[in-house]
Amino acid sequence: MARVSPFRQGPMVAESDVVDVVVDWVHWYNDARLRSTLGYRSPAEFEELYYVEVNGAFSGVAASKLAA
Indicate the domain borders of the chain: 38-68
CB 34 within 8 A of CB 42: yes
10 dihedral zone (left: phi>0; alpha: psi -120 to 50; beta): left
The neighbour count for residue 36, using CB atoms within 10 Å, is 7
State residue 10's pLDDT score: 80
State the pTM of this model: 0.55
Predicted confidence (pLDDT) per residue in 2-43, tens digit:
566 666 778 888 999 889 888 888 888 888 889 999 999 999
Q: How far is CA 23 from CA 6, 14, 16, 20, 68, in A?
A: 13, 15, 10, 5, 33
State residue 59's pLDDT score: 57
